[in-house]
């Protein structure tokens, strides 16, 4: 705590050596009324999760496995944009602390050299049109040198990207600072400025993409995100709007 400079995020810290998933712990704490800004960090996760019941590789001491509890004053429709907001904050912190050039892939990945260094999983609890809490889970690969074979071609860590060791405490402090900055900005001015920042840091826009949605698949050029954070993809049939799904970027 002494090394953190954020005002609200990280005021309450729950640190675990081992946990099932920091998002699960954060959701329990949030449901029990923990204050906004409470964070959960762990050295390793036994069942770290991605979206759609995928697993997240979280080796001991080699990453920042982090969840942040927010109690935002906006409605459930805006929760998906929290992922984009978090991506902007984390990307800024990474680029500031490590100097490595990372970019954001819609909606929830930060990539270096086409390899994933960060995944973000936002989960929410809401009643009618009021958000009870949002948990933003972030997995940041800091010093993983060896990935399991299925991840080796698609994943990377920051120490490998930069060729030097990275202080997890420094990076965590920067992430909480930057996340707090973007969150304060959203509360003050709405999502438009943060979505504008997202566009600048995106590596998806302007690229040929393959979209695998829940019920459809197609290809086209990613041209923009709209005010809801949905990806707009231009296809020969017209512009398709993708609110959730997986996108792969075709090699140039
Ligand atoms: C994500 O899902 O990228 C969200 C990951 C969120 C992880 C954090 S860690 C702290 C918090 N607690 C949790 O339990 N989760 C959050 P998705 O877009 O569905 O991507 C998942 C896919 O990424 C997997 O199917 C693998 O292909 C790949 N993957 C798994 N572990 C990885 C890693 N460490 N680095 C890079 N890619 C990985």
Q: Are residues 19 and 80 in the same domain?
A: yes
Q: Are residues 131 and 238 in the same domain?
A: no
Q: How many domains does the chain have?
A: 2
What is the CA(182)–ligand 1 centre distance, in A? 23
In angstroms, how far is CA 18 from the centroid of its own chain?
A: 21
Structural domain range at position 42: 13-201
Write the DSSP string, 82-144.
HHHHHHHHHHHHHHHHH----EEETTTEEEETTEEEEEEEEEEEEETTEEEEEEEEEEEE-S-
Q: What pLDDT score does 59 carry?
A: 98
In this structure, what CATH number is given to the domain that contains residue 172? 3.30.930.10
**Distance (Å, whole) CA 175 – CA 103:** 15
What are 208's strand-pairing partners? 221
In this structure, what CATH number is given to the domain that contains residue 222? 2.30.30.100
User: Quick check: 82 and 136 in contact, CB under 8 A?
Assistant: yes
Q: Are residues 76 and 153 in the same domain?
A: yes
ipTM of the complex: 0.99
Q: Are residues 31 and 119 in the same domain?
A: yes
Averaged pLDDT, groups of 10, the chain, 252 residues long: 85 97 98 97 97 94 98 91 97 96 94 96 91 96 97 96 96 97 97 97 94 85 95 94 81 54
Q: Are residues 233 and 125 in the same domain?
A: no
Ligand 1 interacting residues, C-beta cut-off 6 A: 21-23, 45, 48-52, 54, 56-57, 65-67, 108-109, 116, 119-121, 137-139, 141, 151, 155
Q: Are residues 93 and 126 in the same domain?
A: yes
């Amino acid at each position: 705590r002494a090394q953190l400079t954020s005002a609200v995020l990280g005021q309450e810290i729950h640190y675990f050596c081992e946990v099932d998933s920091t998002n699960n712990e954060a959701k329990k704490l949030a449901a029990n009324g923990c204050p906004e800004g409470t964070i959960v960090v762990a050295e390793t996760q036994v069942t770290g999760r991605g979206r759609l019941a995928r697993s997240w590789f979280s080796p001991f001491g080699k990453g920042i496995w982090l969840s942040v509890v927010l109690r935002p004053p906006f409605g459930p429709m805006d929760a998906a944009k929290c992922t984009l907001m978090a991506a902007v904050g984390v990307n800024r912190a990474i680029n500031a602390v490590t100097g490595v050039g990372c970019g954001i892939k819609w909606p929830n990945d930060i990539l270096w050299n086409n390899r994933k260094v960060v995944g973000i999983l936002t989960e929410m609890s809401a009643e009618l049109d009021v958000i009870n809490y949002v948990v933003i889970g972030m997995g940041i690969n800091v010093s993983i040198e060896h990935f399991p074979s299925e991840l080796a071609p698609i994943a990377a860590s920051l120490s490998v990207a930069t060729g030097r060791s990275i202080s997890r405490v420094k990076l965590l402090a920067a992430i909480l600072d930057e996340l707090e900055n973007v969150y304060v900005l959203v509360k003050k001015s709405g999502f438009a400025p943060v979505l504008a920042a997202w566009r600048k840091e995106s590596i998806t826009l302007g690229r040929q993409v393959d979209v695998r949605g829940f019920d459809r698949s197609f290809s086209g050029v990613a041209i923009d995100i709209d005010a809801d954070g949905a990806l707009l993809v231009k296809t020969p049939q017209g512009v398709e709007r993708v609110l959730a799904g997986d996108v792969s970027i075709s090699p140039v």
